[in-house]
Amino acid sequence: MDTQFNGRVAVVGLGYIGLPTAACLATRGVEVVGIDVNEATVKSVANGEVPFVEPDLSAAVSGAVAMGRLTATSEMPEADAYIIAVPTPFEANHQADLHYVRAATEAIAPKLRGGEVVILESTSPPGTTHAISQWLADLRPDLVLPHASEGVPDVYVAHCPERVLPGRIMIEMVTNDRVVGGITPRCAEKAASVYRVFTQGQLVISDAASAEMAKLVENAYRDVNIAFANELSLISEDLELDVWEVIRLANHHPRVNVLTPGPGVGGHCIAVDPWFIVGADPDRSQLIRRAREINDHKPVHVAEQVAAKTSRFVNPTVAVLGLAYKANVDDLRESPAIEIVKHLAVACPDLDIRVAEPHVNVLPHHLEEHLNVRLQPACDAIAAADIVVLLVGHDHFKSLSRSRLAGKVVYDTVGFWR
């Protein structure tokens, strides 16, 4: 089997993972077609533009488009490899919602001629890659799929989960090790040949279900450790202790590394993926479930604390600093800051809430419906405020003069202004 891929790649989903993946392949000489259901995204990418903020991505996309290596469309093309990088949210019962993955599979099926590799990058519960193979078999009974054959299949199916950090995606996409899990070893090797085009890290070969579970474990591990820090912050609050001082002292032990507490956990990975493990085995995943519950409740607690602080004022104004799910990005997915503002706006409908988020130009639709919430520059919001609530540790907020906070009640959830 070839160790280096040589063919056309279709990347399905041009979001935070799909578009960087497409750019990495295209800038290394591979012909890439990006597919997305959002016409505005397709138009942006086709023009060499990036619809979200990520360092170094804009140059890569514009260069790949200018070279003719990257195109974008809303129609599924014929290709030699298909990379599925679509959302996998969870439903109200915390079960994985795989309808985007199913829709992508159904769009790919009629384009298959034989010899292609279909790679799932979307984080998914164990068994999803096998389901894709089964769906393709149902849709294309004329083809032999790997789950039903011990020999050489007509189409190869594998899973290669992303494991990059927003703000460093273009670096980590290339340098990080990747796990490649196939329905069969042949499938894994076929998929690995695609990633050898740009990956400098090790390609670790395994089976598809183990690769799916490994990605969930990575994020559940982080979630459990963050939950420990967040629970410590609640305990320290009750005991009138400075949690950051307690953690600083504890971390002087050579085998202790307590993480930093915050207003909750956001992003499409850590806030979502542990639920897939819980859904896969509800009876055994007690610790993982409890960690999710602790982190999910933290925004409610913060909102309640802010509401309590408003009682000392007549017609108070609150400045909320930060809406992104983490520092120095524009990514609002699953952001605890948005949940805090929403809880506060509902609980205190007469409260004047000024939100500062330097990485966005408009309020997210979750907050637009609340008439008592407005978006302002940080300096203006702080100047008007009686209470200043720091929710995200953007560098922009670090640069603000502490004198602006004089005479104001400050609630710092990230330990910036201790």
Looking up tokens 């599925």, which residue turns up? 84
Query: What is the DSSP annotation of 115-162?
Result: S-EEEE-S---TTHHHHHHHHHHHH-TTS--GGG-SS--SSEEEE---
CA 65 to chain CA mean position, Å: 25
Predicted pLDDT of residue 2:
46
Is there a catalytic annotation at residue 160?
no
**Residue of 24, 187, 215, 326 marked active site:** 215
What is the Cα–Cα distance from 296 to 289, expressed in whole angstroms? Answer: 10
Predicted pLDDT of residue 1:
46
Is there a catalytic annotation at residue 215?
yes
What is the Cα–Cα distance from 198 to 54, expressed in whole angstroms? Answer: 18
Using CA atoms, how far residue 160 sits from 119, 135, 334, 375, in Å, is 7, 19, 23, 39
Q: Are 382 and 405 in contact, with CB atoms under 8 Å apart?
A: yes
What is the Cα–Cα distance from 129 to 135, expressed in whole angstroms? Answer: 10
**Residue of 24, 160, 187, 269 marked active site:** 269
Give 159-204 pLDDT, tens digit per residue.
999 989 888 999 999 999 999 999 999 999 999 999 999 999 999 9
- Residue 122: left (phi > 0), alpha (psi -120 to 50), or beta? beta
| Length, in residues, of the chain | 418
pTM for this entry = 0.90
DSSP 3-state of 230: helix
Predicted pLDDT of residue 114:
96
Please, what are the domains in the chain?
Answer: 8-201 (3.40.50.720), 218-412 (3.40.50.720)
- 66: Cβ contacts below 8 Å, ≥ 6 apart: 48
Predicted pLDDT of residue 3:
62
What is the Cα–Cα distance from 342 to 340, expressed in whole angstroms? Answer: 5
Ranges of the chain with pLDDT below 50: 1-2
Rounded to 5 degrees, what are φ and ψ at 163? -150, 50
Using CA atoms, how far residue 312 sits from 9, 349, 385, 406, 409, in Å, is 61, 17, 14, 17, 10
